[in-house]
Amino acid sequence: MSHLRFKQIEIALNREPFDVKPPHPDPTVYFGQHVFDQKKMATYLPRDAYEELTAAIKGKRAIGRELADVVAQGMKKWAMDNGATHYTHWFHPLTDGTAEKHDSFIDLDDEKGIITDFSGKLLIQQEPDASSFPSGGLRNTFEARGYTAWDISSPAFIHNGALCIPTIFIAYSGESLDYKTPLLRALNCIDRAGTKVARLFDPQVQHVISYLGWEQEYFLIDEALFAARPDLVMTGRTLMGHESAKNQQLDDHYFGSIPMRVQRFMEDLEIECYQLGIPLKTKHNEVAPNQFELAPIYEEANLSNDHNLLLMKVMAQVARRHKFRAILHEKPFAGINGSGKHNNWSLGTDTGVQLFKPGKTPMQNLQFIAFIAATMAAVHKHNDLVKASIATANNTHRLGANEAPPAIISIFLGRQLSKVIDQITGHQQADGQIMFSAKEGLNLQMAQIPEILLDNTDRNRTSPFAFTGNRFEFRAVGSSANCASAMIVLNTIVADQLNAFHQAVTAHLEQGDTLEQAVMEQVQQLLTQAKPIHFDGNGYSEQWPQEAASRGLDTENSVPRMIDAYSTPKALALFERTHVFSQAEIKARSEVKWETYCKKIHIEASVIADLTQNHILPVAIRYQNILLDNVLKLKALGKQSSTSPVNVTIEHIAENITGIDEHQRLLAQAIEHAMAQPDSRLQAFAFASLVVPHIDAIRHHVDALELLVDDEMWPLPKYRELLFIR
């Protein structure tokens, strides 16, 4: 009998919500309390040091040793005043998480004995032995040192009693080993390229800033039930489990009332995030049972991404406090929606203009259209790379499955913007209006854009990349991913396109064209070129993959093969031109991606094999024996019949047991075959095409058994028990 399962269900059912008390009723009082922000800098640093540091942050300049020493002293004082005893460089290795190594502030001094110390040297740079982080062969173990260096654009903060200093992480030889380094390069790149283009319209512009607002989806599962599911514990997702009779068909969870226990968890999380300066704004139920979402106010992309990584960590801790586990896996449950992390992305100038927002004057609208055209052209040209940026083993289940988004990158524009673009490219004469060309009629139509876009209400949830009024929403990003991967590619390709745009426009200007003529000429060209990427239709439809292929879009749906997009000649040239990745870095990162893919699938294969062998088969056989016993007894009474329901059930159980047995054997062979491949790329291909199908087949048989075997005996909490928090 499955005592554990029922015991855990009982524990989960009897939980009470925890009380949560905010430090103050007004969140503005404690917002950023744990962050060494401008206000704290002003208090804890001498005036000239404060001014020098804020100027360096604003101008994105590195700081010298002397200033670093002063800043370190101030930071230490503030941190210790606020209960911190340790400090750590906080960085983002090529895993989907963060890394830290805590050192105490204490030191020994010849005269005074024990003291506390924190030097500028320790603040700005460290050399952790980081040989066990993935490096894709970039760092041999004999050169195990990596450097971490302070990213002054992201403020230090206190978490778990440690002063955390956001840093980049690079190899001894200079190659990046993290997400932050290339993200900062890409952001720098789009700043320079965007500024050049924006200055055509307004010479006051000094910087273009890339913004990110993520929407984090997640599931909550009661801790007791989670513990009784080894697959969730080991892989972050359920590898078996039949759909419950009721899941999301009734659409009654989305925006529904939030259960009290969850409500308390969310309040607690919000408080901690506010203290850490993470501006959470929205929280609600998502489509699937037990699925939720939260989103902050958007911020500059680097900071926003740091905040997302921090949030994922804080979320895990707060969830435990409330006896939940936060599940960030992209597809924890079959048959219901998975989790994503929409990346709302936009560009803006330091003069306060949102570049993806239609403006008030024809000139501003020309600029708006120029940036839209550049983005469309970039995503069109590099649609394979954009997809590769979000391709992971976890996200596989969301790509090309029956839920958003399909494994094809296309751009949704909405009715109004589509109309404007069709007019510009002359493909459609909408509403009998006069089409306008580069040379004429520009002002009139451009002036109409703001009005047209006012009711941008038509939304298309099946699009992986959608224009939503003042930004693009990249929806294919996975819930557990580091957003940097997507943000690096997106900002780099658009920066590259903006550079080309600027060059072409400048050439026209030199030939005596007006700015309007030169820009419109380019805009028309780009929009015409990029036309195949524009798709406002239903991304779920059966025709779309075929149509997309005929448009020349990348329709590859095997994750390991998608990763090849990083090393096409086109992509390598892009990264070299923009200095975002060296060839060696691309090679190493692709290596890491394939290795990670293999490891994840390998673990899933081992877990499902063990679980099936040790948990499922014994129970199925035991139940089958009970039934056989029954048949024997009936036979003794002379009442047997081979078509009786008992006999049919015995048959079905036997079929599934045989099926499991067969696929277990094939699975083992497939793994062996995959592991024997000469490199990680081919290994990943083999895991995807040979191993995964057997994992799926075993699951199919186990799920069938779940319906056949006596509920009393079933060892694992079922979907209906996991998924409905009361």
User: Which residues of this chain interact with ligand ADP, rule CB under 6 A?
Assistant: 211, 213, 215, 282, 295-298, 344-346, 354, 470-471
Residue closer to ligand ADP (CB basis): 305 or 425: 305
Cα separation, 589 vs 584, whole angstroms: 9
Tokens representing 702 are: 């186990």
Please say which residue, 89 or 342, places its beta carbon nearer to Mg ion: 342
Instruction: Give me the least distance between CB of 211 and ligand ADP, in Å please.
Output: 4
Residue with tokens 């939260």: 294
CA dist 33 and 272 (Å) reads 10
Q: How many residues bind Mg ion (CB under 5 A)?
A: 1
Say whether 688 sits in a helix, a strand or coil: helix
Of 223 and 473, nearer to ligand ADP (C-beta) is 473
Spell out the residues 6+ positions from residue 682 whose beta carbon is closer than 8 angstroms to its own: none
Q: Which does 298 bind (CB under 5 to 8 A by kind): ligand ADP, Mg ion, none?
A: ligand ADP
Is position 341 an interface residue for Mg ion (rule: CB under 5 A)?
Answer: no
Q: Which does 508 bind (CB under 5 to 8 A by kind): ligand ADP, Mg ion, none?
A: none
Out of Mg ion, ligand ADP, none, which partner does residue 470 contact, by CB within 5 to 8 A per kind?
Answer: ligand ADP
Tell me which of ligand ADP, Mg ion, none is bound by residue 604, counting a contact when its beta carbon lies within the kind-specific cut-off of 5 to 8 angstroms.
none
Q: Considering CB distances under 5 to 8 angstroms, the limit depending on partner class, which of Mg ion, ligand ADP, none binds residue 346? A: ligand ADP
Q: Which is nearer to ligand ADP, 219 or 298 (CB)?
A: 298
Q: Closer to ligand ADP at the Cβ: 298 or 368?
A: 298
Q: In b/e form, how buried is each residue of 136-155, taking b as 16+ CB within 10 angstroms?
A: bebbeeeebebbbbbbbbbb
Q: Which amino acid is at 611?
A: L
For the CB of residue 214, give the shortest distance to ligand ADP in the complex, in Å.
Answer: 6
State the amino acid at position 637 in one-letter form.
Answer: L
The partner in contact with residue 296, picked from ligand ADP, Mg ion, none with C-beta cut-offs of 5 to 8 angstroms by kind, is ligand ADP
Q: Do the Cβ atoms of 412 and 535 come closer than 8 Å?
A: yes
Q: Does 342 bind Mg ion (CB under 5 A)?
A: yes
- Binding part of the chain for Mg ion, among 5-13, 341-349, 396-404, 704-712 by CB under 5 A, reads 341-349
Nearer to Mg ion, 185 or 342 (CB): 342
- In this complex, which beta carbon is closest to Mg ion, that of residue 342 or of residue 508? 342
Q: What is the number of residues in the chain?
A: 726
Q: How far is CA 203 from CA 105, 194, 206, 350, 351, in A?
A: 48, 12, 8, 12, 10
Q: How far is the CB of 456 from ligand ADP (least distance, A)?
A: 11
CB of 237 to Mg ion, least distance (A): 23
Q: Which stretch binds Mg ion (CB under 5 A): 299-307, 335-343, 380-388, 440-448?
A: 335-343
- Identity of the residue, 322 or 471, whose beta carbon is nearer to ligand ADP in the bound complex: 471
Q: To the nearest whole angstrom, how small is the minimum distance from the Cβ of residue 358 to ligand ADP?
A: 13
Residue found by looking up tokens 């064209």 in the block? 513
Q: Which residue is nearest to Mg ion (CB)?
A: 342
Cβ proximity to Mg ion: between 311 and 627 the closer is 311
Can you point out the beta strands (E) in 60-161? 86-90, 103-104, 106-109, 113-116, 125-126, 146-150, 157-159
Site string for Mg ion, 291-330 (x = CB under 5 A): ----------------------------------------
Residue 471 found at the interface with Mg ion (CB under 5 A): no
Tokens standing for residue 223: 């801790």
Q: Which of 368, 349, 379, 358 is nearest to 191 (CA)?
A: 349
Given the complex with ligand ADP, which of 301 and 518 has the nearer CB atom?
Answer: 301
Q: How many CA atoms lie within 13 A of 518 on its CB side?
A: 18
We find the least distance from the C-beta atom of residue 181 to ligand ADP, in angstroms, to be 23
Q: Which is nearer to Mg ion, 405 or 560 (CB)?
A: 405
Q: What is the dihedral of CA 413, 416, 421, 423, to 10 degrees?
A: 160
Neighbours of 594 (CB within 10 A): 23
Q: How does DSSP assign 379-440, residue by residue?
A: HHHTHHHHHHTT--TGGGGGSSSSSSPPSS--EE-HHHHHHHHHHHHTS--GGGPPP--TTS
- What are the residues facing 170 on neighbouring strands? 147, 176
As given in the structure block, the two tokens for residue 260 are 């009290």
Q: At its nearest, how many Å lie between ligand ADP and the CB of residue 378?
A: 17
| Cβ–Cβ under 8 Å, residues 229 and 719 | no
> Smallest gap, in angstroms, from Cβ of residue 206 to Mg ion?
30
State the nearest-atom distance from the C-beta of 216 to ligand ADP, in Å.
9
Quote the least distance from Cβ 348 to ligand ADP, whole Å: 7
Beta carbon of residue 204, minimum distance to ligand ADP (angstroms, whole number): 20
Q: For binding to Mg ion (CB under 5 A), which residues are involved?
A: 342
